[in-house]
Amino acid sequence: MSGYSFTFHRASLVALPSGLLWWSDQRLLCVSDLHLGKSDRIARLGGTLLPPYENQDTFDRLASAIQILAPQTVVCLGDSFDDLAACSALPVDIHTLLTSLIAGRRWIWIEGNHDPGPIELGGTHLAEFKLQGLTFRHIAEPSATGEISGHYHPKTTVSIRGHSVTRSCFLVDSARIVLPAFGTFTGGLKTTDPALQNLMQQKAVAVLTGQKSLPVPMPSGRQKTNS
């Protein structure tokens, strides 16, 4: 596994190159910001007609990870659906596939800002979830420690020989982990953004996703917030 292994509040975790977080002692797989139904929502609101294939693509990648790792618990860190209507409008085939994935394991849906409230699939719905001193929630709380969250879709840029490469990334410091977005149609927020600069500690590490997980120091913001 070409992931980045690290210890966080005494838990041995692996940041996988696909953007998933794996806690092997607990056989727990954590995924954030699936944003299923995104093209559906944009079309419904009169926007452009994006290719309606992102549900299939997101599902395929998640399903193949689950097949390899066989987790006992899957935690979805919120914004699993682009909105509630997108959830109920999920195509029948995706709905069926998702149901079969949920069957036979503990599946936890954390509420996100895009999909609060109950949804019609199996699994448990929680505002947040705690396990062995770690807290899983959608949006980070600045004062929390031992926290694993999503929401921000962090991405970072590394320049090599004048070319710059931008990848979505995990952010890790001693208090928290922020996961990258897993959904196919999701953009990113640069790690130099004040929201992330203010949230993370100075010595935070950004773990790039891609073929291999690559840790780099989280870039310090070019501009600190202009007060």
Partner 1 sequence: MSKLPPIFQSWFESRGWQIHPHQRDLLDRAGDPATLLIAPTGGGKTLAGFLPTLIELSAGNHTGLHTLYVSPLKALAADIRRNLQTPVDEMGLPIRLDDRTGDTSQTRRKRQRADPPHILLTTPESLAILLSYEDAPRIFRGLKRVVVDEIHALAESKRGDQLMLCLSRLQALEPGLQRIGLSATVEDPPALASFLAHHPDPCNILLADPGPDPNISILQTQNPPPWSGAGAVYSVPEVMEEIHKANTTLVFINTRAQAEIFFQAVWRANTEDLPIGLHHGSLSREARDRVESAMVAGTLRAVVCTGSLDLGIDWGNVDLVVQIGAPKNVKRLVQRIGRSNHRYNAPSRAIIVPANRFEVVECQAALDAVKAHELDGEPRGPGPLDVLCQHILIRACSGPFDASALYSEVTTAGPYAGLQRAEFDACLDFCATGGYALQAYDRWQRLMQNPTKEWQLRDPRSTRAIRMNIGTIVDTETLAVRMKNRRGGTPLGEVEESFAATLVAGDTFLIGGQVVRYEGLREMTVEVTKQAGRKPRIAVFSGTKFATSTVLSHRVVALLYSGDWDALPAHTIDWLTVQRRISQLPEPGRMLVESFWRGDMAYTCFYGFAGRNALQTLGLLLTRRMEEAGLHPIGFVSTDYALLIWGLEPVPDAATLLTPAGLRDGLSTWLGENAVMKRSFRNVATIAGLIEKNLPGKRKSGRQATFSSDILYDTLRKYDPNHLMLEITRREAMSGLVDFGRIEEMLTRVEGRIDQITAPHITPLSAPLLLEVGKVAISGSAVTVLLEKEAEDLMREAGLN
- Residues in contact with partner 1 by CB under 8 A are 33, 40, 43-44, 46-54, 56-57, 89, 152-153, 157-165, 181, 184-189, 203, 205, 208, 210-212, 214-217, 222-223, 226
- Minimum gap (Å) between residue 2 Cβ and partner 1: 10
Tokens of 143: 């004062």
Smaller CB separation from partner 1, 131 or 158: 158
Smaller CB separation from partner 1, 12 or 53: 53
Cβ atoms of 20 and 30 closer than 8 Å? yes
State whether the Cα torsion 101-106-112-118 is positive or negative.
positive
6 pairs with which residues across the strands? 13
Tokens of 79: 């914004």
Smaller CB separation from partner 1, 71 or 153: 153
- Minimum gap (Å) between residue 136 Cβ and partner 1: 19
- Minimum gap (Å) between residue 188 Cβ and partner 1: 7
Cβ atoms of 210 and 165 closer than 8 Å? no
- Minimum gap (Å) between residue 104 Cβ and partner 1: 29
Smaller CB separation from partner 1, 53 or 70: 53
Q: What is the spatial distance between Cα 114 and Cα 152, in angstroms, rounded to a whole number?
A: 13
Using DSSP bridges, classify how beta strands 214-217 and 106-110 pair: parallel, antiparallel or unpaired.
unpaired
